[in-house]
Structure 1
Amino acid sequence: MTTSKFQHIGWNEVYKVAVRGLKVFLFYLSVLSLCRVIFIYILREYMGAGVTSGDIWLAIFGGSRLSVQTAGIMTLVVLVPYVVVSIFHSKAGKKVFKILNAVVASVTTILFFASIPYYHQFHSRFHQILFNAVNDDMYALLVSLVQEFNLPVRLLGALVVGFGLYWSLNRFLDFQLAKKLKLDGFFASRGKPGIWAERIIVISVFYLVARLVFFGGSLSWENSVNWENAGITKDQFLNEAILDDYQAVYRGYRMNGRLLSSEGLDFTTEQIRSLAAHMANRPADSDDLTVYLTRTAQGPAINRPKHIFVILSESYANWPLLDKYANLHIADEVKRIIDEDDTAYCRSFLPNGGSTVSAVTGVVTGLADSNLYLTTMPESFKAPYPTAIAPQMKQLGYETNFWYAGPATWERIEPFTLAQGFDHFYGKGNMPAEATGSVWGCDDEYLYQAVLAGVSPDKSSFNVVLNVSNHSPFNVDLASKGFDSSKVVAGLPAEEQDNFELINQLGHFWYADREIGKFIRTIKKIYPDSLIIVVGDHAERYNIDKKPSVYERFGVPFIVTGKGVTKDMLIPKAAGSHIDIGPTIIELIAPKGYKYLSIGSSLTRHNTMGVNYAVWFTHDYYGEADVLPLVPTAIDDQPGPAVDTMELQIYIDTVRALSWWVPKYGMILDQGRLEGNK
């Protein structure tokens, strides 16, 4: 029989395939487990103080159980095509087997090499933000990876190691353990019964492994392990290390799928009606959400400002403003503004999500991050959502402008903001010709220069200003801007004083802070009757503390400054998130009786809670939003009164339910629409 004809499949062939499959499986399982050990060792500084060797071994063992399934899938990827092709052409089957193993080995090492800097950035193994790149500026992203993370070097290193894995696998496949142990002679000496015994043992082991793979490291569904239940240690870092890179990517894929399809939010219209009514403190007697979301302004707290500026600052976290980090001197300008008499500051404020696009959608639409990707939804481009800020500011007599330092194509930001009611959008193409910057956009000073030149003294304007300099690839020429790195170094822990990458990142925070201060001082001089809001777009990027608290990891500042603002303008226990910016501004400036729609609430009236996709804040406590029951952790050593966790849970459900229903189904509660989309 020639190799080009259909091959007969007998027990001997099945036995050989089973042996080869077991070897491939064992090899990949060993590689994944070794990668986990190396990952833990390299990033060991992220482990909590109370971690013991027992915790580490638990993570390694639990991770190996999880990787049983991963290794099984990797084996199937190379084994199934090999078997299918070999049925028709044995030599071609062997080539396919080798090519697929080379690909799998390369992908495995590439993912591992990428996982280290990814964890440095996000304090997480791969998650759904990975898939946001599909909607991002791919060229800018690539340049950022090359400049900030040495992509060519890392990729070359990964491919070299991948080739080493491929070579090792081939040597392992050629290794005959039975011959070394002389077991083949043992079975062969017993004739056919011995040979059949050998084959039965191999097939039985193959079946056992297949069952472990199918049931996720267990022999039944009851004890299976998957990415959702793998966090079995008390340490956040070790729980992330349990996931191998493939499982982490799959987690990101699943979470992104839930975000895009609204999977995971399962509110009925009756529940939404009840939650909305509770929020509005009125009977649940209407299917029109307008009834519950309509607010009435209490009257202006300050004289009508000529111009309003909302500075949505890239990666401007709250932790550098804390006293414990004062020696870094990277937030001195904004701290000076906070200390001024015409400034109010909220220390407990949350971004809408972990990315800039979530911040944009939260500020622009007034909707919380609720498993929807608003900049990709057709509904976002039909008409402004009823809670959108721009149309309501236009009703108050303001021309509305959105200023972005980057390209208008990023996340469809220009058509999105215009569709949501802004009169004008200004992007990278509108910045000064001499502007320097990165692929993400121009340096902050040029953005503010464009805003100052574009604001008319003859028209009242509402402006959202989104900067980008405090973002990788972190290539602002800090030395030319006057950055004194020695001050930052002096404030760093000893083990970080030679960390030039971190110093450069902190220098970019210093630059963003300096430019905010300069811009605010200029605005107050030229337009003294302006109102200025400063808020970070997100904070989850880098920290001095390798194990930051949830408060330090997620919190952003919320600062209100301008003529007529007083330090006690925000309520004493104020807390909130991006969706509360719009109603806060409206309550500061709108005439008494003005009607507006909002899910969020003003921090000048009664808003004492904030929530986003992951965590919640009050003025004195924080916690994870999806841990039930809610577990409050005090921000300070001497916290205020205990949190009403039941009321907090109702608030979380209300914000999420309304922010999910309104953009997807509109303002009318109709169970039929919900059931029709299942």
Structure 2
Amino acid sequence: MFECFFQGIQQDIKLFLFSPVLSAIFRLIFIKVYQPYPSLKGRGKALRECFRFGFWWGMDFNAYVFLASMVLVSLPSLFVGFFQQYGLELRIFLGCLYGAILYTAFAGKMIFYHHFHDTFNYLVHMGRNAEKHNLVDVFFHQDHGGWILLGYLLYIPFVGVGCWLFQQLPSLPAPHIASSLAQYVLTAGLFLLAILGFYWVRYGGTLNHRNKPEWDTIPSLVKEDAFLARACVDDLVALKWVRRKPLAEEMQHSDEELEQSISRLLPAGSKWQPQDNPLQLFRRTARGPVIRKPSQVFVIVGESVPQWALDPLYADLHILDATKDWIADPHTAYLKNFLPTGNISRPSIVSLMSGIYDAQLELNEMESFWQGQTITSFAGQMKKLGYRTIYWYGGNASNGNFNHFGHAQGFDEVRSATDFCGPDAPRTWVGIYDHVFLTEAAKQMETIEEPTFHFVYTTSNHGPYKIPMDVLGGDPDEMLKDVGPDIRENEERRKAFSTARYADRAVQSFIRKIQTRFPDALILYTGDHSNLYGDLSNSSLVPRDYMYRELYCTPLLVHQRDIGQGFFGENTIGTHLNIMPTVLEMIAPQGFTYYSLYPSLTLPQPAGLVTPKQWITPLELGEVASGLVEEVKEADREGTKKHEPDNKMWRQLSSDMTSLTAWVVRHADKCLDHDVR
């Protein structure tokens, strides 16, 4: 018995040893593909630490290969001859099964990083209500999904051979034990020792669970490099984080904890009783109109409009040249350090409509928000100024239940391009081509005589970038003639940049039409979020990792014939939640009461502004997930150095903003107005 178990344990160890080899190979591939540096020269020590720490951190899962082999093969082989006879085959099967799991997680991470420039994070949760057809389309047509699936055919045999080779490593001979009792005792002792060893390895070379490798214990040399810090996290470990961490931890807090958080947000001198609606304490009074009341107000949200594409560093890409022309208009004000309310589309749109941060809670999917309206809602407050309100969406508003959510948040009408453009209109999985949608929307708007607030949201600048080149227009060779061949000759980059330029031109053409029809119109234009299309990190143009400003910021443009380029005064920062109060302060009569978490951009701003995922001050831009900050500046070839902030307050206030939303969700009966539709 003991001899059989002793030999089996050694085979289990050999099988286990192949797992960290696979993890290291995947880590190496990830670094090779996505490294943001022109060269790894001079980073040897940081790389060694990355692989060393990643090795031990990965044991959180890799150690289970040993445990599974011992429990499923070695222990049964003591009693059933089948397991002893076919132990090699069974172990190879287990190794291949685990290897397939590693491959699947790695492929997912590579795709995820390509789109979001991060390892698995909270956005994984958002996939449950995403448009599945579009996800499949992106997987096969943008992320080379077919090749990934075919990769299993080569990868699994490779893993099988690797497991077999490791099984052939020499074993220590078992001592001969004559006594049956001694064999039982030694077998039991070896089993307990194996369990102890399993935990020692799984905890990263310690038996103290508190000393396990974690994000906070990443060596400083590695953590100072944002890319290597991500690289040392094994894919299954990252998925474990995602599974254990809810979209908003604040939803797990008690009412007492939420009260403390909300109290830190309230205006100075405010007193709040928990039985009241905390949003009522964000009441503001308009100072009087800045412009003559316009007949029409337009808030245009473009899909994936990044600030970086407007920075001088990227000028030779000619992506947003049409918007640059509009910025040059003497009646257009432009804010370039501007944060969206979400890192992906739906949280941004929900936040803009409701006036509170969605915080990835998906308020649009909650029935309470189909029946009740926040007092901070954009459209709801525009109606109080006498405006009819219409939400124009380039896709189908029923996706994500924005037909219900939009009406509840104050829109008199929710119009979907999939309906009013007709069944034969060209489309992607997300929506109707922008130029078709916006042309038809403009025609319908031209017939409107009464004062109307229009919230317009486009869709075409979205992967997998399948709109034909003859529709996109322009010559990519001419467009990219002044950049390096690594960019100009890359087909994926050419298509992504051409799509972005097409979408930009479609929006600006639409703006010209509505300006002609409504010369007094107030027009605001922003993006739902940034996007790194083209993935230019470590290219001839951008020889570095991305800045937070490139990752997250979108522009804000405000145009009206009675304002100038200096409209924002000394204000240099903003967020999506500044848009609604800015509109109201521009047009509302003196004394008009409204509700907004942040002040108008026509007024002095707080020292800093927070969103659930970032914060910004005039000097620094911070990321909540990492807790690091960088200098606020335009993109350049040198980039910025990320570092620990001197003031930890902003990260806390970001959580507090999410706590405010959590309170509204939990107490929707008191915090939502159900008598407004």
Pick aligned residue for 2:36 from 37, 45, 64: 45
1:100–1:203 distance in 2 versus 1, CA, 3 Å: closer
Residue of structure 2 equivalent to 1:611: 610
Q: Does 1:407 align with 2:396?
A: yes
Q: Does 1:341 align with 2:330?
A: yes
Read off the aligned partner of 1:416 and give its amino acid letter: F
1:666–1:197 distance in 2 versus 1, CA, 3 Å: closer
Residue of structure 2 equivalent to 1:490: 481
- Once the two structures are superposed, the pairs formed by residues 527-538 of structure 1 within 5 Å of their partners are 527-538=518-529
Deviations 1:324-353 (A, max 9, x none): 221221111111111111111111110112
Read off the aligned partner of 1:418 and give its amino acid letter: H
Question: Is the Cα contact below 8 Å between 2:465 and 2:499 reproduced in 1?
Answer: yes
- Once the two structures are superposed, the pairs formed by residues 532-547 of structure 1 within 5 Å of their partners are 532-542=523-533, 543-546=535-538, 547=545
Residue of structure 2 equivalent to 1:225: 213
Q: Does 1:558 align with 2:556?
A: yes
Residue of structure 2 equivalent to 1:395: 384
Percent of residue pairs bearing the same amino acid type: 25
Number of aligned pairs?
A: 646
Q: Give distance in 2, aligned partners of 1:320 and 1:622.
A: 18
Shift of 1:128: 2.0
Residue of structure 2 equivalent to 1:210: 198
Structure 1: tracts of 5 or more residues without a match: 1-9, 670-678
Classify the secondary structure of the residue corresponding to 2:557.
strand
Question: Is the Cα contact below 8 Å between 2:438 and 2:510 reproduced in 1?
Answer: yes
Deviations 1:648-669 (A, max 9, x none): 5675455343233223335979
- Once the two structures are superposed, the pairs formed by residues 579-590 of structure 1 within 5 Å of their partners are 579-590=577-588
Shift of 1:644: 9.8
Pick aligned residue for 1:244 from 218, 234, 238: 234
Shift of 1:599: 1.2
Shift of 1:293: 1.2
Shift of 1:463: 1.8
Pick aligned residue for 1:56 from 27, 47, 56: 47
Residue of structure 2 equivalent to 1:623: 622
Q: Does 1:177 align with 2:170?
A: yes
Residue of structure 2 equivalent to 1:459: 450
Deviations 1:151-202 (A, max 9, x none): 11221113421332134324433x1512xxxx42xx5579789999997997
Classify the secondary structure of the residue corresponding to 2:333.
strand
Residue of structure 2 equivalent to 1:141: 135
1:245–1:650 distance in 2 versus 1, CA, 3 Å: closer
Question: Is the Cα contact below 8 Å between 1:311 and 1:534 reproduced in 2?
Answer: yes
Q: Does 1:571 align with 2:560?
A: no
Classify the secondary structure of the residue corresponding to 1:442.
coil
Classify the secondary structure of the residue corresponding to 1:465.
strand
Structure 2: tracts of 5 or more residues without a match: 539-544, 672-677
Q: Does 1:602 align with 2:600?
A: yes
Shift of 1:541: 3.2
Question: Is the Cα contact below 8 Å between 1:614 and 1:626 reproduced in 2?
Answer: yes
1:475–1:88 distance in 2 versus 1, CA, 3 Å: farther
Residue of structure 2 equivalent to 1:633: 631
Read off the aligned partner of 1:177 and give its amino acid letter: P
- Once the two structures are superposed, the pairs formed by residues 501-512 of structure 1 within 5 Å of their partners are 501-512=492-503
Deviations 1:590-633 (A, max 9, x none): 111111112122111123533223322234432234666x7562
- Once the two structures are superposed, the pairs formed by residues 178-577 of structure 1 within 5 Å of their partners are 178=171, 183-184=172-173, 187-188=174-175, 206-227=194-215, 229-230=217-218, 232=220, 233=222, 234-255=224-245, 257-259=246-248, 262-263=251-252, 268=257, 270-272=259-261, 274-277=263-266, 280-284=267-271, 286-287=273-274, 288=276, 289-370=278-359, 372-433=361-422, 434-455=424-445, 456-542=447-533, 543-546=535-538, 547-577=545-575
Question: Is the Cα contact below 8 Å between 1:231 and 1:240 reproduced in 2?
Answer: no
Residue of structure 2 equivalent to 1:4: none
Read off the aligned partner of 1:660 and give its amino acid letter: A
1:33–1:161 distance in 2 versus 1, CA, 3 Å: same
Classify the secondary structure of the residue corresponding to 1:616.
strand
Q: Does 1:165 align with 2:164?
A: no
Q: Give distance in 2, aligned partners of 1:616 and 1:361.
A: 19
Residue of structure 1 equivalent to 2:542: none
* TM-score in terms of structure 2 length: 0.86
Residue of structure 1 equivalent to 2:674: none
1:407–1:170 distance in 2 versus 1, CA, 3 Å: farther
Query: Which one is further off, 435-444 or 611-620?
Result: 611-620
1:417–1:200 distance in 2 versus 1, CA, 3 Å: same
1:56–1:342 distance in 2 versus 1, CA, 3 Å: same
Q: Give distance in 2, aligned partners of 1:371 and 1:149.
A: 25
1:447–1:87 distance in 2 versus 1, CA, 3 Å: farther
* TM-score in terms of structure 1 length: 0.86
Question: Is the Cα contact below 8 Å between 1:387 and 1:598 reproduced in 2?
Answer: yes
Read off the aligned partner of 1:156 and give its amino acid letter: L
Query: Which one is further off, 260-269 or 188-197?
Result: 188-197
Please give the root-mean-square deviation of Cα atoms over the aligned residues, in Å.
Answer: 3.5
- Once the two structures are superposed, the pairs formed by residues 59-138 of structure 1 within 5 Å of their partners are 59-76=50-67, 80=71, 91=82, 100-138=94-132
Q: Give distance in 1, aligned partners of 2:28 and 2:646.
A: 42
Shift of 1:276: 3.9
